[in-house]
Amino acid sequence: MYHPSVKEKMTELEAHKAELTALLADGPSGYARLSAERCDDLCEQGRGVAGALGQSDERPEAADACGC
């Protein structure tokens, strides 16, 4: 079904997409893009290291692992 408001919205979305694409292309190239799953994995690892740093018996190993 064609409706003028749908066409207007699509035009807005296409313009926004072009803006985002340009921002990504012009942005710093040194940053890696991570998937949501990989980000979750890294957060979980960080929580584990942070927890281990809080325990005196695991602190030296955790500090070595994170370079503290």
Q: Is residue 40 part of a domain?
A: yes
Q: Is residue 44 part of a domain?
A: yes
Q: Is residue 3 part of a domain?
A: no
CA distance 4 to 10: 10
Short-list 28, 46, 48, CA closest to 38: 46
Q: Is residue 24 part of a domain?
A: no
Quick: pLDDT tens for 10-39: 899 999 999 888 877 776 666 666 677 888
Q: Is residue 53 part of a domain?
A: yes
Q: Is residue 16 part of a domain?
A: no
Q: Is residue 28 part of a domain?
A: no
The confidence score (pLDDT) of residue 8 equals 87
pLDDT above 90 (res 65): no
Token pair, residue 37, equals: 């799953």
Q: Is residue 23 part of a domain?
A: no
Token pair, residue 23, equals: 């921002």
Quick: pLDDT tens for 39-55: 888 888 888 777 777 77
Domain carrying residue 40: 36-68
**Does this model's pTM top 0.75?**
no
Amino acid at the residue 48: G
Domains in the chain: how many in total?
Answer: 1
CA distance 5 to 49: 52
